[in-house]
A = this chain, B = another copy of it.
Amino acid sequence: MLNQTALGACAPVLLIDSPAERRLPHQSRIAAHMPILLLGASRATALRIIDGCVALYRELADGRRIILDILGPGRLLGADLADIHQCKAVTLTLTSVETIDTERALASIGNAIREMLLRAQAHALLLGRKTAPERVATALLDLAHQFARKSGAPLARGRTTFTLYLTRADLADWLGLTLETVSRCLSALKRSRLIAFDRPELITITDRTALEALAAGHLHA
């Protein structure tokens, strides 16, 4: 059972572990920058993100950190979905979640694991073989897909705007870069008019086609 239920409450840690007591589904709001402990020894509980943003990450003994995945609304998070002993998760903004009973939602869990694996494989290609600008372009497209403001206009083409819940440092840890390199790439994309932003956390994609070409490795800028 979640150890945190009040709206807007902000205990330092949210535990996921429902040994026997299980009155699900249950909603909960978690403040920004709260660690989520994945202690589901029973594997009986998982979370669905209703709204907000969660980063799943691992770290090396000396502090080097890699963000494995960024989870937006709809994505699942639970014991089965990550290496419990080595992965950690944090909210990057105020996040609403609901607990789901894995026994009733077996298919959803299976799909979520498969999606996780698929994303991990795509990310391996990014980390192993893409240049810094390609990585940043890929990340922006992924984030746009997960966090785009659902406006009246179709998302497919034209401008897409989304809130970037990640700081430059978070992006760097996701993309295997440094925050300075991320900042330079974002500035370069802005100068090239592929994206636009006035405040650093509100990004608009202004040329999706070019951004996709860059992300796929077809462009050399």
Q: Please give the residue numbers on chain A whose beta carbons come within 8 Å of chain B beta carbons, in ascending order.
A: 58, 60-62, 64-66, 68, 80-83, 86-87, 110, 113-114, 116-118, 120-125, 127-130, 173, 175-176, 216-218
Contacts and interface: CB of A to CB of B under 8 A. Distances in A.
Given A66-B128, A80-B114, A114-B113, A121 B58 contact: yes
A101 B114 CA distance: 19
B61 A118 contact: no
Contact of A217 (B61, B87, B120, B125): B61
Contact of A121 (B87, B128, B173): B87
Given A60-B217, A82-B117, A83-B118, 13 more contacts: A60-B129, A61-B216, A61-B217, A64-B130, A64-B217, A65-B129, A66-B128, A82-B121, A86-B121, A87-B121, A113-B114, A127-B127, A128-B175
Contact of A68 (B66, B110, B124): B124
21 contacts: A58-B121, A58-B124, A58-B125, A60-B129, A60-B216, A61-B217, A62-B218, A65-B129, A66-B124, A80-B114, A82-B121, A86-B121, A87-B121, A110-B110, A113-B113, A117-B120, A120-B121, A120-B124, A124-B127, A127-B128, A129-B176
